[in-house]
């Protein structure tokens, strides 16, 4: 979520010392960079994190969650802030950690 929020910040956000995110359930660094860039963000993947140049508007895109519930939830929130529709492939994976997530999100 931090990487997603950084897209709306002014200036550049650098996330580093996060190499362990490359070897968890998925390579979250690469997936975040690819999906954020698909939405129009300016993100560069590094060996141990991300460089996010904020301030660019996001647009809807097809997002691949790679069945990672953290990725799916992040892009569900970002999709609400983006211009145009966002589709999350594998969106149902959020049930692993938060079965009522979409119901609660849309209620908010």
Is residue 29 helix, strand or coil? helix
* pLDDT score at 98: 97
pLDDT tens, position by position, 58-108 = 999 999 999 999 999 999 999 999 999 999 999 999 999 999 999 999 998
Structural domain total, the chain: 1
How much is the pTM? Answer: 0.93
Q: Which domain holds residue 99?
A: 2-107
Question: In CATH, what number is assigned to the domain containing residue 86?
Answer: 3.65.10.10
Contact 107, 31 (CB under 8 A): no
CB neighbour class for 24 (10 Å; exposed up to 12, middle 13-18, buried from 19): exposed
């Amino acid at each position: 979520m931090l990487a997603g929020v950084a897209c709306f910040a002014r200036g550049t956000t650098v996330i580093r010392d996060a190499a362990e995110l490359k070897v968890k359930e998925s390579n979250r660094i690469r997936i975040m960079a690819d999906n954020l860039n698909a939405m129009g963000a300016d993100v560069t993947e590094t060996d141990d994190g991300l460089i996010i140049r904020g301030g660019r508007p996001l647009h809807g895109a097809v997002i691949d969650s790679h069945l990672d519930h953290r990725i799916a939830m992040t892009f569900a929130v970002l999709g609400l802030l983006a211009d145009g529709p966002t589709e999350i492939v594998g969106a149902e994976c959020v049930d692993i950690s938060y079965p009522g997530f979409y119901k609660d999100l849309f209620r908010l």
